[in-house]
């Protein structure tokens, strides 16, 4: 498959926070003609004058080839539009794309690791319903903004359109950052939402014990996986870079906003006060209540995710949350019938049962002892 020459392609990154700025730096380094769009003219003028994003990504020089403008400049010449705003802002930003003169063939890429209100929709599903599945993609994987521009990350670019996933992956790889191409955007997005929820849960729980923190994360991943499966997601997306990989990066990072939000909840800070304290997007605070409602609507038993939503909402005290985590028993595995791959286990169980029945029969037969 021939991949697009980066220099012939134009990308516009909408949202000049820490991740949008970092992704724009990478695309420019990878040779894509890139524009970073800030929310206001004042922000754009400041970024253009400083050639640095002092507010969200201090200390990183913006490449000279990176254009800066405000979102009002529109998208008329874009081949790729990358949405780098928090999920809460996505409904407004997506609704505004046609008025911003989104070209008919431009690809739209969500960078958010959260869900879109009010239904808790994975962003690519919303974009696909509006603009068509094969021009939509998302990006996941362990990718703290600062480390990504300094030393690298392990991105996953996911789209149902192979050419789109591969072209995004090639742009990042040209910039020196590993990027896997995936055809499971919903799985990658739910992996990102699950890891943020699990990192917040681990942050809230770790002082009470690391077994409890691990149990919280494991329960949340298992509960979200059942939802991902219903939506057609694949297990490797939750097991691989976008799920387990990003969970470790986020839960271990002292600077992680989601983990820190959990620590603040454990300190007794109300959930509603945390965004102002952290001053940046904390996706899990919004995504966990949305996830909880979406899982309930889908008929999935999700006691730990819904308990976490109640902890965030101030309805469940921390000790009760930890007790819930420590006592939740996952549903038993679904053993297969002997016509499937569970046949070996089934045969072993049947042999043990038959041996026990034989022993019991021998005990009942007069004079059978010792035979």
Ligand X SMILES: NC(=O)C1=CN([C@@H]2O[C@H](COP(=O)(O)OP(=O)(O)OC[C@H]3O[C@@H](n4cnc5c(N)ncnc54)[C@H](OP(=O)(O)O)[C@@H]3O)[C@@H](O)[C@H]2O)C=CC1
Give the binding site for ligand 13P (CB under 6 A).
Answer: 113, 142-144, 199, 246, 249-250, 256-258
Residue 19 labelled as part of a binding site? yes
Residue 302: count of CB within 10 angstroms of its CB: 22
Looking up tokens 């420019």 gives: 28
Residue 15 labelled as part of a binding site? yes
89 binds ligand X (CB under 6 A): yes
Q: One of 9, 10, 195, 260 is an active-site residue; which one?
A: 195
Q: How far is the CB of 246 from ligand X (least distance, A)?
A: 8
Give the whole-angstrom CA distance, residue 110 versus residue 25.
Answer: 17
Question: Closest residue (Cβ) to ligand X?
Answer: 17
Cα dist. 56→26, 47, 60 in Å? Answer: 16, 11, 10
Chain centroid offset of residue 190 CA: 5
Give the whole-angstrom CA distance, residue 162 versus residue 159.
Answer: 7
Which of ligand X, ligand 13P, none does residue 256 bind (CB under 5 to 8 Å by kind)? ligand 13P
25 binds ligand X (CB under 6 A): no
- DSSP secondary-structure letter at 310? H
303 pairs with which residues across the strands?
Answer: none
Helix, strand or coil, per DSSP, at residue 242: helix
Identify which of 252, 224, 192, 219 has the alpha carbon closest to the alpha carbon of residue 322.
Answer: 219
Identify which of residues 180 and 246 has a Cβ nearer to ligand 13P in the complex: 246
**Residue 214 tokens, joined:** 């691990």
Instruction: Confirm if 188 and 168 have CB atoms less than 8 A apart.
Output: no
178 pairs with which residues across the strands?
Answer: 154
19 binds ligand X (CB under 6 A): yes
Instruction: Confirm if 168 and 137 have CB atoms less than 8 A apart.
Output: yes
Identify which of residues 37 and 256 has a Cβ nearer to ligand 13P in the complex: 256
Which of ligand X, ligand 13P, none does residue 250 bind (CB under 5 to 8 Å by kind)? ligand 13P
Residue 16 labelled as part of a binding site? yes
Q: How far is the CB of 8 from ligand 13P (least distance, A)?
A: 30
Which of ligand 13P, ligand X, none does residue 249 bind (CB under 5 to 8 Å by kind)? ligand 13P
Q: Which of the ranges 72-80, 84-92, 97-105, 342-350 carries the binding residues for ligand X, by CB under 6 A?
A: 84-92
Residue 113 labelled as part of a binding site? yes
Which of ligand 13P, ligand X, none does residue 84 bind (CB under 5 to 8 Å by kind)? ligand X
**Residue 266 tokens, joined:** 């454990």
71 binds ligand X (CB under 6 A): yes
Residue 341 labelled as part of a binding site? no
Which of ligand X, ligand 13P, none does residue 289 bind (CB under 5 to 8 Å by kind)? none
Give the whole-angstrom CA distance, residue 100 versus residue 10.
Answer: 16
16 binds ligand X (CB under 6 A): yes
Q: How far is the CB of 199 from ligand 13P (least distance, A)?
A: 6
Instruction: Confirm if 22 and 60 have CB atoms less than 8 A apart.
Output: yes
* Mask for 106-145, x = binds ligand X (CB under 6 A): -----xxxx----------------------------xxx
Per-residue buried b or exposed e for 353-363, using 16+ beta carbons within 10 Å of the residue's own CB? eeeeeeeeeee
> Using the rule CB under 6 A, which residue among 6, 9, 13, 20 binds ligand X?
20
Helix, strand or coil, per DSSP, at residue 59: strand
Looking up tokens 């989104």 gives: 102
Identify which of residues 209 and 279 has a Cβ nearer to ligand 13P in the complex: 279
- The verdict on whether 168 is a catalytic residue reads no
86 binds ligand X (CB under 6 A): yes
**CA angle at 128 for the pair 125 and 130, rounded to the nearest 5°:** 110
Residue 18 labelled as part of a binding site? yes
- DSSP secondary-structure letter at 333? P
Show which residues are catalytic: 195
Positions at the binding site for substrate: 113, 257-258
Positions at the binding site for NAD(+): 15-20, 145, 257
Can you give the binding site for ligand X, defined by CB under 6 A? Answer: 14-20, 39, 56, 71, 84-87, 89, 92-93, 111-114, 143-145, 280-281, 283
């Amino acid at each position: 498959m021939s991949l697009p020459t980066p220099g012939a392609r134009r990308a516009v990154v909408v949202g000049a926070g820490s991740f949008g700025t970092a992704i724009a730096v990478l695309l420019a380094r990878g040779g894509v003609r890139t524009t970073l769009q800030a929310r206001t003219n004042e922000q754009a003028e400041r970024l253009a004058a400083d050639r640095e994003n002092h507010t969200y990504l201090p200390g990183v020089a913006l490449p000279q080839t990176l254009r800066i403008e405000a979102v009002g400049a529109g998208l008329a010449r874009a081949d790729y539009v990358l949405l780098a705003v928090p999920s809460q802002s996505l409904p407004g930003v997506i609704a505004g794309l046609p008025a911003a003169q989104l070209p008919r063939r431009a690809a739209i890429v969500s960078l958010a690791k959260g869900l879109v209100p009010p239904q808790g929709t994975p962003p690519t599903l919303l974009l696909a319903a509006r603009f068509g599945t094969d021009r939509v993609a998302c990006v996941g994987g362990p990718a703290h903004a600062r480390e990504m521009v300094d030393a690298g990350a392990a991105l996953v670019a996911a789209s149902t359109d192979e050419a789109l996933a591969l072209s995004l992956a090639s742009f990042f790889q040209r910039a020196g950052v590993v990027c896997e191409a995936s055809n499971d955007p919903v799985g990658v997005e739910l992996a990102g939402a699950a890891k943020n929820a699990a990192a917040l849960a681990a942050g809230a729980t770790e002082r009470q014990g690391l077994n409890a923190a691990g149990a919280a994360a494991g329960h949340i991943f298992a509960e979200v996986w059942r939802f991902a499966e219903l939506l057609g997601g694949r297990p490797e997306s939750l097991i691989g870079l976008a799920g387990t990989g990003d969970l470790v990066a986020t839960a271990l990072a002292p600077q992680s906003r989601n983990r820190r939000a959990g620590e603040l909840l454990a300190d007794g800070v109300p959930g509603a006060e945390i965004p102002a304290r952290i001053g940046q997007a904390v996706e899990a605070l919004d995504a966990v209540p949305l996830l909880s409602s979406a899982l309930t609507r889908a008929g999935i038993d999700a006691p730990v995710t819904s308990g976490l939503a109640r902890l965030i909402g101030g309805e469940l005290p921390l000790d009760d949350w930890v007790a819930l985590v420590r006592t939740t028993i996952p549903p038993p595995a679904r053993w297969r019938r002997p016509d499937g791959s569970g046949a070996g286990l089934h045969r072993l169980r049947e042999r043990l049962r038959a041996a026990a029945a034989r022993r019991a029969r021998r005990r009942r037969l007069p004079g059978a002892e010792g035979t």
